[in-house]
């Protein structure tokens, strides 16, 4: 399915936009882009996210920061072109501009603010699932650059969907690859790989940072709870403003309601109510949600749309 | 006008509105406003008090008899200039100010009849100026001193506009992708048209020399310390509003189909979900309950109605206690919103797929007045019932966003996370930092925020002059 980027750049007259300085295809339908955004680049850290709005009519799309270059004043984003908006985003090329690029939003990784001695005592395993390798990468890089060695698992359905492997290997002490179909690296999902490392290879970890699809983070959290390893996950629920205003991203963490945008996006994986979060993230994707939207679209210009 | 009899002069000139049945299906503006003849006739009802009480009722002290006299004189441009001395957003205020409890409440005409329709006259003048491309006068002299304003809502725009008129070099930093704050994300199109009214008034503020930088979240993209130490701003005004929505804390509140009014309205107003040419989706709902009784609740209810839903307002007190403006309640009823008053939700019922399917409510009765002076609602025994619904919109008020206060050292807040600031000057606990509007008071009205922005502009000017 291809979506046409038919809208052009009519509202870019003032050229206050955010220019794409680099575009790279990481895998089938997964793209990396460097975007010039001086204010974001200056103050962002691993763990935080940005909101991209492509043009006047676009959605506000939250994307976790994959990297940043303070000198070049750029921020790196990685996205999978699966929805209408991200497919349109995939058609932007170097030199073109996004209308809006806001951030950094959310809290930075708690590792960055941790006591350095405490941090050097921790044996950390990062677990990246699919596109989740993008937000894991800057954390691994930051750890290495600050003198801490960490292990990483990159998991995906198959070899084609493994991304950022070379970059990750540059900064990780050990980088394990796991594919569900066994087409590359360890044959099995990330949980099988964690079990193998802990049970068969006598690896010991004090902390797991797991970022990927919610279903993966859920099962990693269940496993690490059994194994008694503290676990941090990065939540990616539906958002509108990303600054605490709408509450669309609310999650149940333990017995409290938290907003992923301002309280997170990283939380204790053992406290997250994943089942609720997974239902909420489907709100505009489930049959019921789609039906509502379809009904709206069916009438084409429903009597209230105000565009005629 | 001589042929109006004595009884007529006691009544205001009625304003034409879109038919309720028609407007319930569109997002066009409800109120059409006066035409020139109606405006002049209404203006002639002003008796030009020597000691005009109305001015004291206006948070920005507009010379009301002054501009009304110009309308009588048929010099609308001059009337606009009079208003512009005091307000940067007259077309907005003429539409959304609660005049009935401010200027119009104090009008002498109101003792024996209807008060002069000051709001509708203000709107007429501002709309006329827009249609005739009249813009406010530019500042004569610039002083080059840089002032930062955080938030491009009513407080920030007013403060920035007033400082620019005094000659300051003002930059507004706005977190969202459009300036306007609640004027663009909160108040719907049918009460406040965005492309015409709001955009023009923001352009007027820009024409005074104010710069607006969007997509900057102060507290995240940059701190107040950086603004002052690195970017050379000598004073900062915080007008960041009250953005955090409140929820009830009842079971089922995180089900699919439960939204904050902020989310519902932001999707519809800022992101224009009502227009299929825009990408942001909205789940409008077929049977919708809006919980709450304020102006925001009315806005959410009337938006859901226009998106095709059957809509209930669920409010725990009675009609008398509804915090919304009488005009908004009246419009909502005309359009067919069903009011379930003295009713409080206990639980949101959720189906197997995680979606709202109903709301268990209980009837209430009013007891003794509470701390707010309103009679407190008490549950009626054995009165629970279920309202079948597919969507619930929580409109229980908002509180200030702690993004700025938590990242600014030495900035004191109260226990509601509201920034503590002097009402007269906007002065906070931090030198050079001023604040006003909802960030200080918690959720209030557009005009009160404008009043605070205005006061702070004077406060900032005094501070910078004596620094």
Among left, alpha and beta (phi > 0; psi -120 to 50; other), residue B48 is: left
For residue B288, which phi and psi values (nearest 5 degrees)? -120, 135
Distance (Å) of CA A194 to CA A163, A197, A229, B358 = 19, 5, 11, 43
Pick the CATH number of A116-234 from 3.30.590.10, 3.40.50.620, 3.40.50.300, 3.40.50.80: 3.40.50.80
Nearest to B283 among A241, A257, A289 (CB): A289
For the segment B418-435, what is each residue's pLDDT rounded down to a tens digit?
Answer: 999 999 999 999 999 999
CB of B173 less than 8 A from some CB of A: no
d(CA B238, CA B230): 18
Residues in chain A: 308
Do A103 and B221 lie within an 8 Å CB cutoff? Answer: yes
Q: Which of A24-28, A304-308, B95-99 has the highest mean pLDDT?
A: A24-28
B396 CB-contact burial (10 Å; exposed 0-12 / middle 13-18 / buried 19+) = middle
Do B177 and A252 lie within an 8 Å CB cutoff? Answer: no
Cis before A265? omega within 30: yes
d(CA A245, CA A224): 33
Element (H, E) at B67: helix B64-72
CB of B18 less than 8 A from some CB of A: no
Residues of chain A with CATH 2.40.30.10: 18-105
DSSP E strands, B104-204: 146-150, 169-173
List of chain A residues whose C-beta atoms are within 8 Å of the C-beta of residue B259: 247-248
Query: Between helices B64-72 and B118-131, what is the axis angle to 10°?
Result: 60
d(CA B54, CA B72): 18
For B233, the 3-state DSSP assignment is: coil
CA distance B165 to chain A (A): 25
CB of B243 less than 8 A from some CB of A: yes
For the segment A177-193, what is each residue's pLDDT rounded down to a tens digit?
Answer: 999 999 999 999 999 99
Q: Chain B, 295-324: which have a CB under 8 Å from a chain A CB? A: 306-308
Nearest CA in chain A to B261: A246
d(CA A164, CA A10): 35
Residue A9 confidence (pLDDT): 43
CB neighbours of residue A254 within 10 Å: 12
Q: Domain A18-105 in CATH: superfamily?
A: Translation factors (2.40.30.10)
Give the lowest-confidence range in A13-22, A61-70, A88-97, B397-406: A13-22
Which residues are CB-contacts of A69 (< 8 A; sequence separation ≥ 6)?
A: A34, A41, A76
A266 and A280 in contact (C-beta within 8 Å)? no
Nearest CA in chain B to A99: B177
Testing the interface with A: which of B229, B254, B307, B439 to mutate, by most A Cβ within 10 A?
B254
For residue A30, which phi and psi values (nearest 5 degrees)? -115, 125
d(CA A253, CA A270): 9
Nearest to A306 among B221, B274, B280 (CB): B274
CA distance B403 to chain A (A): 8
What confidence tier does B277 reach under pLDDT thresholds 50, 70, 90? confident
For the segment B373-430, what is each residue's pLDDT rounded down to a tens digit?
Answer: 778 889 999 999 999 999 999 999 998 888 898 889 999 999 888 999 999 999 999 9
Distance (Å) of CA A137 to CA A78, A173, B8, B353 = 11, 13, 75, 35
CB of B216 less than 8 A from some CB of A: yes
d(CA B122, CA B95): 9
CA distance A259 to chain B (A): 10
Nearest to A307 among B275, B308, B402 (CB): B275
Would you say residue B110 has pLDDT above 50?
yes
Put the strands of the sheet holding B338-340 in their side by side order: B258-260, B391-394, B287-291, B310-314, B338-340
What confidence tier does A83 reach under pLDDT thresholds 50, 70, 90? confident
For the segment B161-179, what is each residue's pLDDT rounded down to a tens digit?
Answer: 999 999 999 999 999 999 9
What confidence tier does A303 reach under pLDDT thresholds 50, 70, 90? very low
CB neighbours of residue A302 within 10 Å: 18
**Mean pLDDT score of chain B:** 92
Sign of CA dihedral B361, B366, B368, B371: positive
B148 and B94 in contact (C-beta within 8 Å)? no
Testing the interface with A: which of B221, B240, B243, B244 to mutate, by most A Cβ within 10 A?
B221
Q: Chain B, 20-59: which have a CB under 8 Å from a chain A CB? A: 25-28
Nearest to A293 among B215, B216, B281 (CB): B281
Residues of chain A with CATH 3.40.50.80: 116-234
Residue A7 confidence (pLDDT): 56
pTM over 0.80: yes
For chain B, the first-to-last Cα distance in angstroms comes to 56
B238 and B159 in contact (C-beta within 8 Å)? no
What's A187-205 look like in SS3? ECCHHHHHHHHHHHCCCCC
Summarize the confidence of residues A117-125 as an average pLDDT.
93
Would you say residue A61 has pLDDT above 70?
yes
Do A247 and B275 lie within an 8 Å CB cutoff? Answer: no
Would you say residue A299 has pLDDT above 60?
no
Nearest to B266 among A39, A53, A246 (CB): A246
**Mean pLDDT score of chain A:** 88
Would you say residue A306 has pLDDT above 70?
no
DSSP E strands, B335-421: 338-340, 343-350, 356-369, 375-379, 385-388, 391-394, 398-399
For A78, the 3-state DSSP assignment is: strand
For the segment B63-90, what is each residue's pLDDT rounded down to a tens digit?
Answer: 999 999 999 999 999 999 999 989 888 9
For residue A272, which phi and psi values (nearest 5 degrees)? -75, 135
Summarize the confidence of residues B307-319 as an average pLDDT.
94
Which of B143, B430, B192 shows the shortest CA–CA distance to B295?
B192
For residue B94, which phi and psi values (nearest 5 degrees)? -60, -20
Summarize the confidence of residues B165-194 as an average pLDDT.
94
What is the ipTM for the molecules in this complex?
0.88
Cis before A104? omega within 30: yes
List of chain A residues whose C-beta atoms are within 8 Å of the C-beta of residue B177: 53, 60, 99-100, 102
- What does the CA dihedral B182, B187, B189, B192 come to, rounded to 10 degrees? -90
Please give the residue that has the higher pLDDT: either A263 or A5: A263
B265 and B188 in contact (C-beta within 8 Å)? yes
Element (H, E) at B182: helix B182-185
d(CA A216, CA A224): 12
- Residue A125 β-bridge partners: A151, A208
Residue B5 confidence (pLDDT): 54
List of chain A residues whose C-beta atoms are within 8 Å of the C-beta of residue B256: 279-280, 282-283, 286, 288-289
Read off the DSSP letter of residue B355: B
Residue A246, CA atoms < 13 Å, CB-side half-sphere: 25
């Amino acid at each position: 399915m291809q979506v046409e980027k038919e809208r052009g750049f009519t509202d870019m007259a003032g050229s206050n936009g955010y220019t794409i300085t680099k575009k790279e295809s990481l895998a089938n339908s997964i793209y990396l882009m460097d975007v010039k955004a001086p204010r974001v680049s200056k103050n962002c850290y691993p763990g935080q996210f940005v909101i991209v709005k492509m043009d006047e009519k676009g959605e506000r799309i939250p994307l976790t920061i994959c990297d940043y270059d303070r000198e070049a004043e750029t921020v790196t984003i990685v996205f999978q072109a699966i929805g209408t908006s991200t497919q349109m985003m995939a058609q932007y090329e170097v030199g073109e501009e996004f209308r809006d690029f806001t951030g950094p939003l959310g809290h930075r990784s708690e590792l960055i603010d941790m006591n350095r001695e405490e941090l050097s005592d921790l044996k950390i395993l990062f677990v990246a699932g699919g596109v989740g390798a993008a937000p894991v990468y800057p954390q691994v890089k930051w750890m290495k650059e600050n003198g801490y060695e960490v292990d990483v698992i990159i998991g995906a359905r198959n070899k084609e969907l493994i991304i950022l492997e070379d970059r990750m290997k540059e900064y990780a002490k050990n980088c394990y690859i796991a594919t569900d179909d066994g087409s590359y690296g360890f044959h099995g999902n990330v949980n099988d790989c964690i079990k193998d490392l802990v049970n068969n290879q006598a690896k010991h970890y004090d902390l797991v940072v797991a970022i990927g699809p919610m279903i993966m983070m859920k099962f990693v959290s269940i496993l690490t709870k059994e194994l008694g390893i503290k676990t941090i996950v990065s939540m990616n629920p539906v958002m509108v403003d990303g600054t605490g205003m709408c509450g669309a991203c609310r999650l149940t963490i333990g017995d409290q309601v938290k907003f992923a945008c301002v309280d997170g996006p990283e939380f204790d994986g053992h406290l997250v109510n994943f089942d609720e979060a997974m239902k909420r993230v489907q709100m505009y994707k489930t049959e019921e949600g789609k039906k509502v939207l379809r009904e709206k679209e069916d009438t084409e210009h429903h009597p209230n749309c105000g565009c005629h | 006008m001589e042929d109006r009899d004595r009884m007529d002069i006691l009544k205001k000139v009625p304003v034409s509105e879109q038919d309720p049945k028609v407007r319930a299906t569109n997002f066009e503006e409800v109120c059409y406003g006066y035409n020139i003849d109606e405006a002049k006739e209404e203006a002639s009802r002003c008796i030009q008090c020597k000691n005009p009480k109305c001015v004291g009722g206006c948070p920005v002290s507009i010379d009301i008899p002054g501009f009304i006299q110009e309308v009588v004189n048929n010099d609308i441009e001059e009337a606009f200039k009079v208003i512009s001395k005091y307000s940067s957003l007259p077309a907005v205020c003429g539409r959304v100010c609660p005049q009935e409890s401010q200027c119009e409440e104090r009008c002498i005409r109101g003792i024996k009849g209807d008060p002069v329709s000051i709001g509708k006259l203000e709107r007429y003048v501002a709309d006329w100026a827009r249609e005739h491309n009249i813009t406010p006068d530019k500042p004569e002299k610039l002083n080059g001193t840089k002032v930062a304003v955080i938030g491009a809502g009513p407080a920030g725009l007013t403060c920035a506009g007033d400082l620019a008129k005094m000659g300051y070099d003002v930059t507004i930093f706005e977190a969202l992708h459009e300036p306007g704050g609640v004027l663009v994300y909160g108040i719907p199109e049918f009460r406040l048209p965005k492309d015409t009214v709001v955009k023009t008034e923001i352009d007027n503020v820009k024409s005074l020399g104010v710069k607006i930088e969007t997509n900057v979240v102060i507290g995240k993209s940059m701190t107040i310390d950086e603004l002052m130490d690195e970017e050379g701003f000598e004073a900062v005004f915080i007008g960041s509003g009250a953005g955090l929505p409140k929820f009830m804390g009842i079971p089922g509140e995180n089900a699919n189909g439960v939204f904050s009014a902020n989310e519902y309205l932001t999707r519809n107003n800022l992101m224009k979900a009502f227009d299929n040419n825009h990408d942001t989706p909205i789940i409008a709902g077929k049977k919708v309950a809006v919980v709450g009784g304020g102006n925001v609740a009315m806005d959410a209810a009337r938006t859901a109605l226009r998106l095709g839903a059957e809509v209930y307002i669920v409010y725990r007190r009675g009609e008398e206690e509804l915090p919304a403006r009488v005009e908004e309640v009246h419009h909502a009823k005309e359009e067919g919103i069903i009011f379930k008053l003295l009713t409080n939700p206990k639980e949101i019922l959720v189906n197997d797929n995680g979606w709202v399917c109903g709301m268990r409510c209980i009837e209430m009765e009013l007891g003794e007045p509470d701390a707010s002076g309103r009679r407190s609602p008490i549950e009626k025994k054995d009165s629970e019932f279920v309202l079948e619904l597919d969507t619930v919109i929580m409109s229980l008020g908002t509180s200030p966003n702690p993004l700025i206060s938590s990242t600014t050292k030495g900035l004191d807040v109260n226990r509601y996370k509201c920034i503590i600031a002097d009402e007269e000057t906007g002065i906070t606990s931090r030198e050079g930092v001023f604040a006003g509007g909802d960030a200080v008071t918690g959720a209030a009205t557009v005009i009160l925020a404008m009043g605070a922005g205005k006061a702070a502009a004077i406060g900032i000017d005094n501070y910078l002059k004596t620094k």
